[in-house]
Structure 1
Amino acid sequence: MIDALPEKGVPGEQILAELRELRAGDLPTHGGRLFAYVYDPALDGLDDLARAAHALSAHVNGLDPTAFPSLLAMENALVGAAAKLLGGGPETVGSVTSGGTESLILAVKAARDAHPAIRSPRLVVPATAHAAFAKAAHYLRVELDTVPVHGLTADAEAMAAAITPDTVLIAASAPSYAHGVVDPIPEIAVIAAEHGIRFHVDACFGGWILPYLRRLGADLPGFDLSVPGVTSISVDLHKYAYAPKGVSILLHASEELRRPQYFAYAGWPGYTMINPVISSTRSGGPIAAAYATLRSIGDTGYLELARKTRESVAVLAAAVEATDGVRLYAPAGTSVVCLASDTADTDTDTDDGADAGGADADGADADGADTGGADTGADLFVLADELAARGWHTQPQMAFGDMPPTIHLTVTAAVHATAPDFAADLADAVAAAKARGPVEVPPLPPLTPEMITPELIASLAEGLGLAGGDFTQMATVNSILNAAPPALREALLAGFLSFLQRPAAPFA
């Protein structure tokens, strides 16, 4: 186990060597072969610039902008850039947050606190909305009304029907994370305006690239603050703005809309606490790094990065369409390629208009979960392992309602150099997955969330080969999780994460 507090201090070079050794076990953050978690523009010198900018402001504290006006200036500059890109007007205001989840939590807080007389506030979202909305509802004690989608996009009429006198916020995605499709923002905005309800657009994932894709000719609906009825929008700079991790922007159409977002407290003998975001103390490092990144790339640079991303998406989508055993599950119209087994249920394709996402009280039916492996199709979870063995790291997604398992590829500009190699490897990986066949899920005792204990998790981890920290063969694990109802899946994964996050973990 690593000793973070040795009796005597350790030389700096030794510490850096230790860090490099630890990092050697991580997935590659550069090189265009990791399709989740990180965003790589493949621009020479950008990392060095961002690191230097981060170092200059790492010890600056965002708690008091009057003490550190440099940070205030950078935050205002970032908000102004986001407002310019996302249809903001002269009244638009915003805040810099640590990430998309914090931006969404604050959007929900502002809507909730704008209606103090509503005792049981409610939030209406489509079933494809990001899980951070559920987290916001949980933290803020707001009731979450999840509405089934039409095909893969929000159903405006169904969302309208879900509105009650207690609804304080409606939200939709531009685009959705899982499938990369843009919800019908203008139609939902009309509904929100007619009911006098705030409407938040979650553009955290792709909001910085959508405007550039539209400039390149992509057929995308209106989605930003220029759409009447949209009252707030969020965008992560550490995604397609390619800034280092830890920076998102939450924009409100006016100061009046933003005001309930703030927290202020003077009922103690210390300083009066005034926070625009969740954190009090905030390092200026990520904000300075984002400022440097935007200034370095510039508008024309982002347009070029979007062009590379769009071309890469086309190459990857064509590879999927040309490979027997898999198919595109969603239109590849933004920066996502989402693929499914070609034998998986096709009832939720966007061209047939079927509803999806209406799970029962326990979520997806465990007996009916589609593991993605039947007849001539590739088992999606085996395929993910086969792709990883060939150096391509993807993100498997579980079945949900009527939606089958899928593999999600977040495509960045760095993939432009590697996309041609993906086609051959995909065909080879699909052939290997079909040869292996679907995973045989080992027999498990009937489980409920209440039965998940640390001892059970440790036993399962040992039996599945995860106790030693080897996460390279995950098909069996993913198949088990896919077959579990969502509530049980949540309990299993929470227990496993707790198992990993302890000093006594085998690989700590």
Structure 2
Amino acid sequence: MTGVLARLRELRAGDLPTHGGRTLAYVYDSGLSEVDEVAAAAHALASSANGLDPTAFPSLLRMENDLVACASKLLGGTAETVGAITSGGTESCLLAVLAARDARPEVGSPSIVLPETAHAAFHKAAHLFGLRKVVVPVDPETFRAVPSAMADAIDESTVLMVASAPSYAHGVVDPIPEIAAAAASAGVRMHVDACIGGWVLPYFAKLGAEVPLFDFRVPGVTSISVDLHKYAYCAKGVSVLLHANAELRRTHYFASAAWPGYTMLNPTLQSTRSGGPLAAAWAVVHHLGEDGYLRLAEVTREAVGRIRSGVAAIDGLRVLGDPSSTLIAFTAENDGFDLFTVADEMKVRGWYVQPQFAHGSSPLNLHLTVTAANHGSEAEFLADLSASVAAAREAGAVRIDSEVAAFVAALDAETLTADQFAGLLAAAGLLGDDGGLPERMAPINALLATAPEPLRERLLVEFLGSLYTP
């Protein structure tokens, strides 16, 4: 056994660090070592239990109801509020869309109205469940949804309105009350994607921050998603989907007696569900408690403020919008350097920051997810960011080989062949010398940025397929 674990440690050594605040995407670190210990012990105690049948494992039922109640209390729920534990934010959003669609069987071609900043999970839901997307531009300065434009997009096919608290790309909270009022007036469900902000914004408010209303206190809000593996600092993957009442939840349940086995009954997209993540989340939430989360929110808020101010003070950088949560996106104000190079330089210095391609009114930018673990290292981060900008400015713009650019321009997302993609890999160096990822991503990202979005999607799907080949 020790040999296998040693090998696992060797494999993990090549990953981005999940603790210490050096990876500002994908992971959420409380900075408290005992939180991991509590989660691991609880996970081990319940990992073999199966949430498929709550009558067989009533402990899981009790823990799930307990976590839903905690989320409901935090987000302005009432005695009628119900919910479900899912595997993550995407599943919570999928179920919200599914529930809205199946509640309106009379609508032949249902649609969802969402701002262009809504999470890609809603595009995935529309794709999987056959809904039409009505994507509404946001304010180009604030990146917030425009209520009047959202209201104008409603028609007889609309089954769901979506808004974010906050949006992932820019960390801003949409004007939920106005959008929810438009939804309610039209008799349409209203989902608030608070996957990132749902467990931290209420504590920011308790600390005196001006947090816009976004939860069940807003008339017209019918469902909210909030991830516990984000700012509740629980192990992945656990999210909560809340519905204002049981009638709204019913249509995301699935039941089938049309086969000779047991009658399948699922409250989520999954059937078998390990009790491990649920128990780990339950243990962490109760271990930290109200005081623990308030303290974590306090240090996180301080870190966000310091980093945001520091980024804005660096020559050539500009924070996008007016972020009110824990996410910061910043762009380059001039063409003197390349942000993709800045991201590479930060990685050299031991930090991971996430590049975001330009889309609509949002320019190319770098994205930061700030957690409690970033508190205390803000000065080091900002010094390295300043040095990375200087290095990128010295390096100049990323140059794309004209032949490679012409190769990409000639590709068609609809007809792209495996041979064409292999040729692009070879020409552009999309894989490193060992067949893995290259050390520097700036040339690749710059090339991808030249491709239309449908082609970029197809190229990245092919790229992903090449990585997931034994």
The answer to whether the 8 A contact 2:89-2:225 is kept is yes
Give the corresponding residue for 2:444. 477
SS at match of 1:386: helix
Give the corresponding residue for 1:69. 58
Do structure 1's residue 422 and structure 2's residue 390 form an aligned pair?
no
Give the corresponding residue for 2:365. 406
The answer to whether the 8 A contact 2:173-2:324 is kept is no
Counterpart among 293, 304, 308 of residue 299 in structure 2? 308
Do structure 1's residue 250 and structure 2's residue 241 form an aligned pair?
yes
Q: Deviations over 1:68-114 (max 9, x none)?
A: 00000000000000000011000000000000000001000100000
Do structure 1's residue 26 and structure 2's residue 23 form an aligned pair?
no
1:324-335 aligned at under 5 Å gives the runs 324-335=315-326
Give the corresponding residue for 1:320. 311
Counterpart among 431, 443, 459 of residue 466 in structure 1? 431
SS at match of 2:347: helix
Identity %: 57
The answer to whether the 8 A contact 1:60-1:285 is kept is yes
Give the corresponding residue for 1:346. none
Counterpart among 185, 207, 212 of residue 216 in structure 1? 207
The answer to whether the 8 A contact 2:430-2:444 is kept is no
- Return the TM-score normalized by structure 1: 0.89
1:96-495 aligned at under 5 Å gives the runs 96-151=85-140, 152-343=143-334, 374=335, 376=336, 378-443=337-402, 444=405, 445=407, 446-462=410-426, 463-467=428-432, 468-495=435-462
- Aligned counterparts of 2:34 and 2:247: Cα–Cα separation in 1: 41
Unaligned runs of 5+ in 2: none
The answer to whether the 8 A contact 1:33-1:418 is kept is no
- Return the TM-score normalized by structure 2: 0.96
Could you tell me how far 1:337 is from its partner in structure 2? 1.5
Counterpart among 83, 90, 112 of residue 72 in structure 2? 83
Counterpart among 459, 462, 465 of residue 498 in structure 1? 465
Moved over 4 A (4+): none
- Aligned counterparts of 1:175 and 1:198: Cα–Cα separation in 2: 19
The answer to whether the 8 A contact 1:313-1:411 is kept is yes
Say how many residue pairs are matched. Answer: 460
Residue identity in the other structure for 1:298 = G
The answer to whether the 8 A contact 1:314-1:332 is kept is no
- Aligned counterparts of 1:108 and 1:264: Cα–Cα separation in 2: 18
Give the corresponding residue for 1:16. 5
Give the corresponding residue for 2:36. 47
- Aligned counterparts of 1:476 and 1:165: Cα–Cα separation in 2: 46
Could you tell me how far 1:465 is from its partner in structure 2? 4.9
Residue identity in the other structure for 2:147 = A
SS at match of 2:149: helix
Q: Deviations over 1:415-460 (max 9, x none)?
A: 0022121121111110000011111122332111134333333333
- Aligned counterparts of 2:332 and 2:209: Cα–Cα separation in 1: 27
SS at match of 2:261: coil
Could you tell me how far 1:279 is from its partner in structure 2? 0.4
Q: Deviations over 1:152-204 (max 9, x none)?
A: 00111111111110100001000000000000000001101111110000001
Counterpart among 47, 53, 56 of residue 45 in structure 2? 56
Residue identity in the other structure for 2:388 = A
Instruction: Tell me how large the CA RMSD over aligned residues is.
Output: 1.1
The answer to whether the 8 A contact 2:64-2:278 is kept is yes
